[in-house]
Amino acid sequence: MNDTIVAISTTIGISALSIVRLSGKDALEIAKSITKSTNFKPRYAHLKYIYNNNNNVIDRCIVIYFKAPYSFSGEDIIEFQSHGGVSVPKNIVNECIRLGARIANPGEFSKRALLNNKLDLSTAESISKLILSQSNQANEILGRLLKGDLKEFIETFRKNLIEILAHIEVLIDYAEEDLPKDLEISIDTKLNNAIKKLNDIHSHSLSMQHIIDGHRLVIIGRPNVGKSSLLNKLLLKDRAIISNIEGTTRDILEETITINNQIVKIIDTAGIRDSNDEIEKIGIQKTLQYTQDATIIIALFDGSREFDDQWILDILEQNKEKIIIAVINKNDRKQIFNQDKLKEYETIRISTLDSSVFKLRDIIEKKINQVSINTQEIILTSTRQIECIKLCIKSLNNAKENIYNFEIFSFYINEALHSLDMLTKPFNNNEMLDSMFSEFCLGK
Ligand X SMILES: Nc1nc2c(ncn2[C@@H]2O[C@H](COP(=O)(O)OP(=O)(O)OP(=O)(O)O)[C@@H](O)[C@H]2O)c(=O)[nH]1
Cβ closest to ligand X, residue 155 vs residue 277: 277
Least distance CB 273 / ligand X (angstroms): 8
Residue 275 contact, options ligand X, Mg ion, none, Cβ 5-8 Å cut-off depending on partner type: none
* H/E element, 89: helix 87-98
Q: Least distance from C-beta 301 to ligand X, angstroms? A: 10
Site for ligand X in 361-380 (CB under 6 A): none
**Would you tell me which residues interact with Mg ion (CB under 5 A)?**
227-228, 248-249
Give the nearest distance from C-beta 344 to ligand X in angstroms. Answer: 22
Q: How far apart are CA 163 and CA 125, in angstroms?
A: 29
Cα separation, 412 vs 419, whole angstroms: 11
* Residue 283 lies near ligand X (rule: CB under 6 A): no
* Of 164 and 225, CB closest to Mg ion: 225
Q: Which of 141, 150, 242, 364 binds ligand X (CB under 6 A)?
A: 242
3-class SS at 63?
Answer: strand
Number of residues lying near ligand X (CB under 6 A): 24
Nearest CA to 287 out of 216, 358, 352 is that of 216
- Judged by beta carbon distances under 5 to 8 A according to partner kind, the member of ligand X, Mg ion, none in contact with residue 48 is none
Neighbours of 245 (CB within 10 A): 9
Identify the residue among 330, 349, 367, 444 touching ligand X (CB under 6 A): 330
Q: Which does 415 bind (CB under 5 to 8 A by kind): Mg ion, ligand X, none?
A: none
Distance CA 418, CA 158 (A): 10
Pick from Mg ion, ligand X, none: which does 226 bind, CB < 5 to 8 A by kind? ligand X
**DSSP letters spanning 329-388:** E-TTSPP---GGGGTTSEEEE--TTSTTHHHHHHHHHHHHHHS---SSS----SHHHHHH
Of the CA atoms within 13 Å of residue 51, those in its CB half-sphere come to 11
| Residue 126 binding result from ligand X, Mg ion, none, given CB thresholds of 5 to 8 Å by partner type | none
Closer residue to ligand X, CB minimum distance, 243 or 258: 243
Residue selected from 46, 247, 365, 417 as contacting ligand X according to rule CB under 6 A? 247
Q: Does 353 bind ligand X (CB under 6 A)?
A: yes
Residue 233 lies near ligand X (rule: CB under 6 A): no
353 touches, from ligand X, Mg ion, none (C-beta below 5 to 8 Å by class) = ligand X
Using the rule CB under 6 A, is 246 a contact of ligand X? yes
How does DSSP assign 254-307, residue by residue?
Answer: EEEEEETTEEEEEEE-PPPS----HHHHHHHHHHHHHHHH-SEEEEEEETTS--
Residue type, 261: N
Put the strands of the sheet holding 102-103 in their side by side order: 45-51, 57-66, 77-85, 13-23, 5-8, 102-103
CA-to-CA distance for 249 and 227, rounded, in angstroms? 9
Binding mask 253-272 for ligand X (x = CB under 6 A): -----------------xx-
In the complex, minimum distance from the CB of residue 249 to Mg ion, in angstroms, rounded to a whole number? 3
- Is residue 385 part of the contact set for ligand X (CB under 6 A)? no
Whole-number minimum distance, CB 25 to ligand X, in Å? 58
* Interstrand relation of 346-349 and 323-329 (parallel, antiparallel or unpaired): parallel
> Which among ligand X, Mg ion, none contacts residue 229 (Cβ within 5 to 8 A by kind)?
ligand X
CA 145 to CA 423: how far, in whole Å?
A: 13
User: d(Cα 223, Cα 344) in Å, to the nearest integer?
Assistant: 23
Give the CA angle between residues 302, 308, 312 to the nearest 5°: 80
Stretch that binds ligand X, among 3-11, 15-23, 131-139, 329-337 (CB under 6 A): 329-337
Q: How far is the CB of 249 from ligand X (least distance, A)?
A: 3
Q: Is 35 in the site for ligand X (CB under 6 A)?
A: no
Helical residues (DSSP H) of 133-236, grouped into ranges = 136-146, 149-171, 181-213, 227-235
> In the complex, what is the shortest distance from the CB of residue 268 to Mg ion, in angstroms, rounded to a whole number?
6
Instruction: Give the x-and-dash track for 202-231 against ligand X (CB under 6 A).
Output: -------------------x-xxxxxxx--
In angstroms, what is the minimal distance from the CB of 246 to ligand X?
Answer: 5
Query: How many angstroms separate the CA atoms of 75 and 30, rounded?
Result: 14
Q: Least separation, in Å, of the C-beta of 340 and ligand X? A: 21
Task: Determine contact, residues 35/16, Cβ cutoff 8 Å.
Answer: no
Q: Which residues are near ligand X by CB under 6 A?
A: 221, 223-229, 242-244, 246-249, 270-271, 329-330, 332-333, 351-353
